[in-house]
Chains A and B, each alone.
Chain A
Amino acid sequence: MSNAMADTLQGWGRRCQVTGLKVHSEAEKLIKVNAVVAVVAFLVGVIAAIGLVLTRWQAVHLLPADWYYRLMTVHGMNMLIFFILFFEMAVLYFAGPVLLNCRVPAPKVGWLAFGLMVLGAVMVDVVIFAGKADVLFTSYVPLRAHPLFYLGVILFAVGAILVTCLFFASLVVAKREQTYEGSVPLVTFGALTAAIIAAITLLHGAAIYIPTFLWSLNIIPIDPELYRVVWWGLGHSSQQINVAAMVSVWYLLGGLTVGAVVLNEKISRSAFSLYVLFISMASAHHLLVDPGLGPAWKVWNTSYAMYLAVLASMIHGFTVPAGIEMGQRLRGLVKGRFEWLRKAPWGDPGFSGMFLSLVIFGFFGGITGVTSGTEQINIIAHNTLRIPGHFHVTVVGGTALAFMAVTYYVLPLIFQRKVALWGLAKIQPYLFGVGIVIMAMSMTFAGSFGVPRRHWDITFAGAATSVEFHPMVDMLMGTMAIGGLLAAIGALAYIAIAVLSVFFGQKVDWSRVGDGGAGIPQGVAKLPKQAHTGAAVEQVHQAGTPGTMVLVGVFLTVFVLYYFVNWKMLSMVWKIG
């Protein structure tokens, strides 16, 4: 680690001063540009989000109807597609070439892909802001957008599929050039499953956006129900890329921050494989109360073939905290059930963001998602605020927060800059995480009162007949807005930190990095031991992870309660069938 500047691998790249990994300069550049554009898309999405919460908060009701729906479209596309996929492209360049010590196989293709994705994203945003695509993220046919909207999405998807192919190629190159020994690391394996799901997802995307593009030019007809089925093959599966990428990031950050270990490679890898096999079936979650599909199809698909993908998430929900607990115990924090958790580095945003992401995704997101994705319970959830309430704790409190957390390690390790505004960075994951949870839980409860999602005015002023919502709803829409604004402050803080670090940040002085200090996360200052051997290890392994057993016990209890309370609520409404 101390052979600082001598080891620059001239003309090829550099050796990471912390992990010892070889970093190909093309990989480094591609990670940088994709991450930067991801943050730009994120900023656009955050600004739209502020407009949305201030409009749904009826006391403020900021935007006119057309701009509300327009910014809803902007928010969906920029957050769920552009921000998250650009970031995932960076994750693929990291988990492939960097972790495997190899080169980017065809960097020119990487740059071409990046260009296509930027072009596609810009086209889509320009068309939406011009008011030519007020169709929301789902763009259900026969709502009609300008053809360039669909073409922009297609270009973006082609770029993303090229990067996915590059990732697969880097696995082949690394194997052939023997840049690593044994099997690929678990993080790379997880990224591989994300890439496979991405390939499946993007094929669905092609299967729906190309015909829809032709439909928008009046060349072919499209069946509205068929559109919904195939579109959700893209729409939901793309969220499963996020799940696999996020879980990989949890494992990565666990290792970097506290030396978390993999309890059992077989279990964790099998769980990732279950994602690949079953997770695409989740498109059914959106079609449970649709007229085009029968009960057998719905039951089989919504449960990912008997909940095997849920099983996968429940496994990771155990192995990730258990790996952290075991890592901490190996570092000597062995007292009681929870010393490992109490004495975790809560001031390191890489750790706190990762752990909050794990709790928010699993506890809030997982429980609400499985429940409202149950065929019959969906009757009392479909298209109410319960749905965005659910996915804001999976994809935002889960994936986006995990990506923020890893950013605090990417800044020093890849950009080689100290994290700017370090004091703010330390509290940023809490601001964002707590805000999102308040917002999403308010949405979930408001949705249980029947409040619709994607709705400009639930006072129904000017409508044929009035609707009086339960008085609780007013309060919940208020707390939703307060949570949303808190999360927006957290999001803007993240953007400010990222931009200031990248463009104006202090260079990391590798000879003095061990001193730590402001802007250097503790895992970068002193990387925890990544491998353990010997009898002591066996002893700790035998002692197990008693703290995590308690955590998952609490989780399961709440899960069972919430699930059956919903069946009870369902049983009280009109008989219907």
Chain B
Amino acid sequence: MHSAIVSPKGVWWKPAGKQEKLWVTIAFVWCMILFAMMPFWHFKGGQNPSGMRSRVDPKDFAARAQRFVEDYKVGDENGIPVVAPPAGSDLYLVARMWAWSPILKLKKGATYTLHLSALDVNHGFSLYPININFQVVPGYDYALTVTPNDVGEYKIICNEFCGIGHHLMVGKAIVEEGESTASAAAEVSEVNNE
């Protein structure tokens, strides 16, 4: 046997020792488990970053978001509109230097499609305190179905550096007690029928 700075002479392709073989086997099995967990979660788990992804011109996204605000606006807070869209609807959240808009009022147990995009540079969507994080890229619409599972006031922190005012960029989502899941589902089908 020799150290790793010695040139091995002759054929070094030799069978491994028992313990080495055992460890390589265990490690390989563990790697396969690690791999299998991800497809498994796509079928059985409730949290996946798949979403619906498409390119979008920032101007078009801003226009959609504007219509969304006009449709469901219920108030204003420090100049940022507050919207209360019905269960099942599409939400448009705009990230720009250095604000999130609008403020979202949601119902617990209801399902929405949350569209994320940025108008200028990359931003990071980080929902506090439950710690859900997504990358927000200009020119891309990231549409994720979300179902809030608890009431409360949530903060949306920007966690991608976006310039000198990055640390000032905080938005808000408020989740209130909703109707029963059944009526929320009915509402969804109603919206879809319209």
- State the A residues within 8 Å of B (CB): 19, 65-66, 69, 72, 99, 134, 136, 138, 140, 142-143, 180-187, 190, 223-225, 228, 248, 251-252, 254-256, 259-268, 287-295, 298-299, 302-303, 306-308, 310-311, 314-315, 318-319, 322-323, 326-327, 330, 370, 374-376, 378-384, 448-450, 452-458, 460, 462-467, 470, 530-532, 537, 541, 544-545, 548-549, 552, 556, 559-560, 563, 567, 570-571, 573-577
Contact = CB atoms under 8 A, between A and B. Distances in A.
Contact of A142 (B34, B45, B121): B121
A189 to B, nearest CB: 9
Nearest to A266: B13
B140 A140 contact: no
Interface string B114-154: 00110011101011111111111111111011111100000
Given A306-B31, A307-B31, A376-B41, A265 B8 contact: yes
Interface string B50-63: 11010000000000
Contact of B3 (A255, A315, A537): A255
Contacts of B39: 299
Contacts of A267: 16, 20, 24
A39 B158 CA distance: 35
A185 B7 contact: yes
A254 B7 contact: no
Contacts of A268: 4
A41 B32 CA distance: 40
A463 B5 contact: no
A462 B132 contact: no
A136 B5 CA distance: 39
9 contacts: A255-B5, A287-B135, A295-B42, A298-B49, A306-B31, A318-B24, A455-B159, A462-B168, A560-B30
B31 A259 contact: no
Interface of B: 1-10, 12-14, 16-20, 23-24, 26-28, 30-32, 34-35, 37-39, 41-42, 45-51, 53, 78, 80, 99, 111, 116-117, 120-122, 124, 126-142, 144-149, 155, 157-164, 166-172
Contact of B7 (A184, A462, A575): A184
A99 B5 contact: yes
A460 B48 contact: no
Given A291-B137, A563-B34, A140 B122 contact: yes
Nearest to B49: A289
B47 A455 contact: no
Overall SS of chain B's interface: mixed
A334 B146 CA distance: 59
Given A254-B3, A290-B135, A314-B31, 12 more contacts: A182-B10, A187-B4, A261-B2, A311-B28, A314-B30, A379-B134, A380-B131, A450-B129, A460-B167, A464-B168, A544-B18, A556-B26
B14 A379 contact: no
Contacts of B20: 263-264, 267, 318-319, 322
Contacts of A187: 4-5
Given A307-B31, A322-B20, A260 B3 contact: yes
B31 A142 contact: no
Nearest to B142: A291
Contacts of A295: 42, 48-50
A443 to B, nearest CB: 14
A66 B137 CA distance: 23
A306 B62 CA distance: 40
Nearest to A66: B164
A577 B144 contact: yes
Given A142-B138, A225-B139, A376-B47, A370 B126 contact: no
Given A266-B13, A292-B140, A452 B159 contact: yes
A266 B14 contact: yes
A225 B137 contact: yes
B155 to A, nearest CB: 5
Given A255-B5, A262-B1, A576 B140 contact: no
Nearest to B130: A573
B49 A376 contact: yes
A549 B19 contact: yes
B142 to A, nearest CB: 4
B53 A544 contact: no
Contact of A455 (B41, B148, B166): B166
Nearest to B31: A307
Q: Which 10 A/B pairs are nearest by Cβ-Cβ distance? A: A255-B3, A291-B142, A452-B159, A182-B9, A307-B31, A251-B4, A265-B12, A186-B4, A450-B131, A291-B140
Contact of A376 (B48, B51, B147): B48
Contact of A460 (B130, B137, B161, B170): B170
Contacts of A462: 168
A544 B19 CA distance: 7
A570 B45 CA distance: 9
B137 A450 contact: no
B81 to A, nearest CB: 13
Contacts of B120: 142
B137 A224 contact: yes
Given A383-B159, A563-B34, A225 B164 contact: no
Given A291-B140, A450-B131, A567-B37, A262 B4 contact: yes
A458 B167 CA distance: 7
Nearest to A530: B3
A97 to B, nearest CB: 14
A462 to B, nearest CB: 6
Contact of B140 (A225, A252, A288, A450): A225
B17 to A, nearest CB: 6
B3 A259 contact: yes
Contacts of B18: 544
Contact of A574 (B51, B146, B163): B146
Contacts of B128: 450, 467
Contact of B8 (A140, A183, A190, A570): A183
A8 B49 CA distance: 63
A294 B53 contact: yes
Given A262-B4, A266-B12, A453 B133 contact: no
B159 A384 contact: yes
A224 B122 contact: yes
B4 A255 contact: yes
Contact of A382 (B26, B45, B134, B171): B134
